[in-house]
Amino acid sequence: MTLRSTVVLISAIGLLAPVAQSATPTEAPAGFDTPTLVQNPGSKSISNGIAEPNGDTFALDQKIYEAVHDVNNGLGPVYNARSCAECHQNPVTGGASQFTELRVGHRDANGNFVNPTVPINGDANNISGRSIVNDRAIVPQAQEHIPTSENVRALRATLSILGDGFVEAIDDSTLLAIAARQPALSGGRIHGEAISVGIFEAPGQTRIGRFGWKDQHGSLLSFSADSYLNEIGVTSRLRPNDATTVGKVTTDPEDVPDNLALANIDHFAQFMRGTKVPPRDAVLAATAAAQSGAQVFDRIGCGACHVGSITTAAPGTVFSGGAYVVPEALGNKVIHPYSDFLLHDIGTGDGIVQAGPQDTAEKLRTEPLWGLRERPRFMHDLRSLTLQNAIERHRGEAQFVTLRFLALPETQKQELITFLQSL
């Protein structure tokens, strides 16, 4: 199934107001409460209180999320990792990590991005129709190598999925309202792009994308199925075809329902929906320096894209034509992601087009800053080793913000960094 996407035109702020909430919103539960354990996985984990499918548990969801694959249960033929947690594991299962994935392609005569054709098996076969190139293969014949013709090349960091259930529960209208406000907040310089993407589990239905560096997914079940195929090489009911059959020894789809009538992709989505949001460092956040830094953060314009507070849709809100209903644990919750989940050109784009139109080639999703203090490297490519360098790399729509930061007294720069270190 191919994602269909269109640019969402933002025409009237009055039409973009968030869905009315029936009660006073409450704070989403926060905590790094999914420790990675070799023995008895998930046994010490605590969910956000989400109701589980009949017979399921949060511990079981995490155990399956951490399960290591081999060729007998569908690994490959090309892949990047043997489990979801192999890439999402800092500081706990579901967090970000040092792993990067490789994306390549080229531009045609009109300057439009085109997915690569990657030869394998001594040029007897090839892999096409996707920008990702896997680093690993189950047999030498399936190993991918980048042709010289594919001169658009990019590395992308693994993103944290902690708290993503709350992100999924944000109404489209809320994201569109944020985008509509940005030009006025920035003198017309910031204008996030929302794209509408297809939902695998609801053919013909679309949502505003919010997951992945290119906002290529609008639901966690779609995200789970796509990542299972592209990162581990396991096919499912939603993504039934491997990139290649070279070296393959299993029958599709490899991800089949268990005794609870749930496939692994269902457990993955349920695990992500059950995670708490990343917590702040409460002690550091209470300091005068961090509080002053938060004011500097907003004053110079960072908050236009790194939105500090968003409220999720009301419980019972139906998305994707009925494929997903916001549960009680995730609805009407205030989250602090420090992201607008929109696409922006800040001068660090990777040239890759996925779900959006060609104008998204140099745009990336605003990286959520919650959990930032747990990361030693920053930005989409992990090339920034300090927070100050990450700020200084912001150009394009964010150029004026960077210039304001550079003009700050050193004391205020450090206060801003202290605030970021508290996230």
Q: 266's torsion region: left (phi>0), alpha (psi -120 to 50) or beta?
A: alpha
**C-alpha pair distances (Å), 297 with each of 214, 294, 384:** 25, 5, 19
Number of H helices, E strands in the chain: 11, 18
Q: What is the pLDDT of residue 6?
A: 39
Planar angle of CA 57, 61, 63, nearest 5 degrees: 110
**Domain assignments of the chain as residue spans, ordered by start:** 5-421
**Mean pLDDT for the chain?**
95
Q: For the residues of 41-81, what is the DSSP string, one character each?
A: TTTT---SSPPPPTT--HHHHHHHHHPPP-GGGT--SEES-
What pTM does this model have?
A: 0.94
The bridge status of strand 333-335 relative to strand 26-27 is: parallel
pLDDT value at residue 15: 34
* Per-residue model confidence (pLDDT) at position 388: 98
The predicted structure's pLDDT at residue 22: 60
Distances (CA, A) of 54 to 51, 57, 65, 318, 410: 9, 9, 18, 21, 56
| Percentage above 70 pLDDT, the chain | 95
The parts of the chain modelled with pLDDT lower than 50 are: 1-20
Cα–Cα distance for residue pair 142/70, rounded to 1 Å: 15
Burial profile 70-108: b = 16 or more Cβ within 10 angstroms, e = fewer: eeeebbbbbbbbbbbbbbbbbbbbbbbbebbbbbbbbee
pLDDT for residue 21: 52
Residue-level pLDDT at 343 = 98
